[in-house]
Each structure stands twice: as structure tokens, then as C-alpha cells.
Amino acid sequence: MTSVVTAPDVSFVIAAYNAEETLESAIDSALSQVDVSLEVIVVDDCSSDGTRELALRCRDRDDRVKLIVQPANGGPAAARNAGFDAATGRWIAVLDADDTIHPQRLKRMIARAEAMDARIVVDNIDVVPLEGGEPTAMFSRADLEARKTLELADFIESNIIFESTFNFGYMKPIFRRDFLNQHGLRFDENLRIGEDYILLASAIASGGVCAIEPEAGYVYHLRHGSISRVLKPEHLTAMLAGDEKFLKRFSLEPRAMTAQRRRTQSIREAASFLTLVDQIKKRSVGGILKTAIDNPRALKHLRMPIAVRMRRFARAAGVS
């Protein structure tokens, strides 16, 4: 008699590059989900440390763990796409290799999705400080409860550089796999920063209801270097190109379009600001004057404390 293989409720996709110090905790937290069936797909992006061997040991210990080894280092987007293509679960959840999740997370999120007929769900995030200790919620629970769903205009608006005090782009959505496949949604492999933003924006723009679970389920671990990986000019150029592709693919309602124009302007300002800082470091009077004339608004950001600029750059781009 032929046995019927039932698809798991959720496929976790973990892109891993030189993550041997944190990967096991991420995998164990996924395997510890209660009341859901699951698989954990680890995608090794050509690590040079013991990441692959660690993933193999986890696979030997629990057959719900799968391992994909990339033929070449392609970055997080390419690694996650490989995991998406291999996934068999009804839902797909991205988990970073240096983060963890609470045991009830997927049970809560799937229940909320089913109650609201949603194809996407996001939830609150617990942030663990650099020095360790008790986590704090990234977003106000009351605010998330009041919203109920994440609208495209609000999502774009929270991703405006220099202006946003919070960024919904940090949220780690789960997606119905059939919805992603139906609309041909994957990460943009040309983006090394901001690929999460474009995927979620595209999913919402494709008509997917994005439900909000106000309880924190994802645990974001701040680490040394998190803020220092701030935007570079080439990242901003790629982000503008990614946004342009997004706008060519989707027609936005007026409020979302207004937010998008502000976001585009903020990225251009950020690029001019980085150029201005570079010219100041080089003591290039001509370069400073040209940048200031081309985009006078870049000058105002020089008055902002460096630490604040760094945090806002990172927050608005979803840098982790």
C-alpha cells in the first residue's frame, strides 16, 4: 500500500553563511514549535567555517532538518530563494541564522491567518540587547492590536530613511507558499540590503491580506556589527533600482504612491549625504560644493549626531 505523505504546516528557511556560532540555536528554536508540523531548510551559502558540518549534525539528529549547499556564494536573497523552491510546507517562514523564535509563534500566526483569511502574517519582535538580559518588544502591542492588518502605504511609510522612528521592514512575515508561487514572488537577488522589504511590499501589492499578530514571537538578537553594517552608496543604488522594478510591476493606490515618492526621495537624499561625507573626508572642496548644490537637503543631516544617523540608516533599510 502506498503511504500518503502529508505536507508540513510550515517550512522554515534559514540562509546561513559562517553561522556556526548561532545556527544551532536558530534550528532548535524552529524545531521546538508546538502544535504545528514543520521542516527546517538550512541553505549553506558557501560558508568557510563549520556551518555545513553543524547543519549535517542537526540533520542526523532530526530528520525534519534539510540541508541545501549553494554552488557559489550568492547572498541571502539567493540562498532564501533556494530554500523557498525546496519548501513543501503550506506556509514559509524565514528565520535568520543568528535569531530565534518563541515556541508558540507559528501556532499563533497560523491561527490568526485562518481567522482573517490572510495569506501573509507578521508579528511583534522581541529585541535582545547586546549585553544580553531581558528582551523588549520592538513595537507597541496596543498599536499592533489596533491596526489588525498591515497596509501597503503604512509599510512603505515606515521605510522612509531619516524620517521613520520604527520600521515594519524588521518584521519577519510568514507567507502561504501557494500564494507566493501563484504570484511568482521571490527575493530580488540583486539586493544585499532591503530584499525583505521588496518581497513583503510585493506580496501586499499582489493583493495578499497581511494580518498582524501583536504578540512577540520572533527574537532579534542584537550583535556587535549590527549597526556598523550601514548603507553604502552601492546599496542605495540597488535599492532605487529595486523600487523602480516594484513600481513597474504594481499600480499603487494614491496614499501608497505618496509614501513611495517620499521613500524614493529619502533614498536619493541618503545617497547624496553619503557622497557629501566622502567628499568631506577627502577634503574635496569642489566635490562638497557640487554635492551641496545638487542636493541641498543633504547638508541638514550633517547636524544630526552620527550615532542617530547610523541608527536611522540601519532602521530604514532593515539592516540587521
Burial letters 174-213, b for 16+ CB under 10 A, else e = bbbbebbeeeebbbbeebbbbbbbbbbbbbbbbebbbbbb
CATH number of 1-98: 3.90.550.10
> Would you kindly state where each structural domain of the chain is located, as residue ranges?
1-98, 102-320
308 band by pLDDT with thresholds 50, 70 and 90: very low
pLDDT tens-digit readout, 91-141: 999 999 999 999 999 999 999 999 999 999 999 999 998 777 889 999 999
Cβ atoms of 215 and 108 closer than 8 Å: yes
Statement: residue 4 has pLDDT above 90 = no
- With 0-12 / 13-18 / 19 or more C-beta atoms within 10 angstroms meaning exposed / middle / buried, residue 59 is middle
310 band by pLDDT with thresholds 50, 70 and 90: very low
302 band by pLDDT with thresholds 50, 70 and 90: low
Statement: residue 206 has pLDDT above 50 = yes
Statement: residue 233 has pLDDT above 90 = no
Closest CA to 313 of 259, 246, 232: 232
Task: Report the alpha-carbon distance of residue 320 to residue 317 in Å, rounded.
Answer: 9
Task: Report the alpha-carbon distance of residue 102 to residue 88 in Å, rounded.
Answer: 22
Please compute the mean of the pLDDT values over residues 16-41 and round it to a whole number. 98
317 band by pLDDT with thresholds 50, 70 and 90: very low
Q: 212 pairs with which residues across the strands? A: 122
Q: What is the dihedral of CA 304, 317, 280, 272, to 10 degrees?
A: -100
239 band by pLDDT with thresholds 50, 70 and 90: very high
pLDDT score of 285: 52
pLDDT score of 99: 97
Task: Report the alpha-carbon distance of residue 194 to residue 79 in Å, rounded.
Answer: 15
pLDDT score of 269: 85
Task: Report the alpha-carbon distance of residue 9 to residue 305 in Å, rounded.
Answer: 46
- DSSP letter, residue 109: H
Statement: residue 319 has pLDDT above 50 = no
Joined together, the cell numbers standing for residue 200 give 513583503
Cβ atoms of 1 and 31 closer than 8 Å: no
Cβ atoms of 215 and 122 closer than 8 Å: no
Please compute the mean of the pLDDT values over residues 16-27 and round it to a whole number. 98
Q: Please enumerate in sequence order all residues whose Cβ is within 8 A of that of 239, keeping only pairs 6 or more positions apart, or say none.
A: 191, 193, 194, 267, 317
Cβ atoms of 32 and 105 closer than 8 Å: no
Cα dihedral sign, 203-204-208-212: positive
Averaged pLDDT of the chain? 88
pLDDT score of 26: 99
Please compute the mean of the pLDDT values over residues 157-168 and round it to a whole number. 81
pLDDT tens-digit readout, 247-296: 999 999 999 999 999 999 989 888 777 766 665 665 655 655 565 555 55
pLDDT score of 316: 47
